[in-house]
Amino acid sequence: MENRSRFTTLIMPPAIYLFLLFLLPLGVMLVFSFRAGTTGAAHNIFTLNNYRAFLENSSFQRLLWRSAGISFTISIISIILAYPIAYYLAFRAGVNKSILMTLIIVPTWTSYLLRIFAWKLMLGSTGVLNSILLSTGIIEQASPILIYSRTAVVVTLIYVWVPFVMLPIFSSLERIDRNLLEAAADLGCASWESFLRVTLPLSMPGVVAGFFFAFIPTLGEFVTPLLVGGAQGSMYGNLIQDQFMRALNWPMGSVMSLAMLAVVFILMFLLTRLGPLSELLEL
């Protein structure tokens, strides 16, 4: 009885937090998706027309899958860049591990908007990139080469999320028993072979967690595409924002949000088929 009371006491705060900040808003959005009218003002009228309109509009679906592809690319590149950093911190940094980790994390304490604006300046016509190209004679006059494009969105979001992707990978690498690596070496495994057969498989839970750390927030991004992407770099999140803020079509915005959530759940289901969910997310 005492154990049950202790368990209830420990589980109630996160359960209430989850209900108020996730399940309740999700339920409200689900209700709005079935309402008629632009702002869902017709409380007593429930309809499937919003879902029908979404399925019939191929541009909505095309932008959703294009944004999913962009987020997938950002997540994969972030993993490729973050893994060597995490590996070095876990196996090579030694006593400097904490200092280096702090140096990596400190930039994330800066305002998100300030960092995005910094990249906007660097990629603009008077930014660092143009200055380098002008000084080397590659171009004769300054021009916004990367700004307001899909490439600018990808580059900026990779910069933002690499530190966050690195953290679960580092945590997973830290938990690897070093005796396993020594045993692999005693059995004649070369360094690269030991990495492929021991280190990489055991660090996959952190890799998968890091993938979702980047994929889920970037799929719904609208601030970064708005500031550095322009018309060419718009993502699905910008369309959802327009439905809620400009068109005031809350039911359609709710439907589009639920469709995005469904894509995330489908991908999570497919990736977690690689192993038990508890193992993939255990850090």
Mean pLDDT of 203-214: 90
Give yes or no for a contact between 250 and 39, defined as CB atoms under 8 angstroms apart.
yes
Domain spans of the chain? 1-33, 48-281
Query: Which two tokens mark 150?
Result: 């899909």
What is the mean predicted confidence (pLDDT) over 25-41? Answer: 81
**Sign of the four-CA dihedral 55, 30, 266, 252:** positive
Give the closest residue to 81 by CA, choosing from 175, 194, 157, 3. Answer: 157
List, for residues 174-186, the tens digit of each pLDDT value. 988 888 888 888 8
CATH tag for 48-281 (out of 2.60.40.1120, 3.40.50.300, 2.60.34.10, 1.10.3720.10): 1.10.3720.10
88 pLDDT band, cuts 50/70/90, is: very high
Q: Is the pTM of this model over 0.95?
A: no
Residue 280: pLDDT band (50, 70, 90) is: very low
Nearest to 257 by CA among 249, 72, 41: 249
Q: φ, ψ for residue 36 (rounded to 5)? A: -95, 165
Has residue 82 got a pLDDT over 90?
yes
pLDDT of residue 64: 93
- Spatial distance between the Cα atoms of 86 and 172, rounded to a whole number of angstroms: 9
Dist. CA 147–CA 124, nearest whole Å: 6
Instruction: State the Cα–Cα distance between residues 1 and 10, nearest whole angstrom.
Output: 14
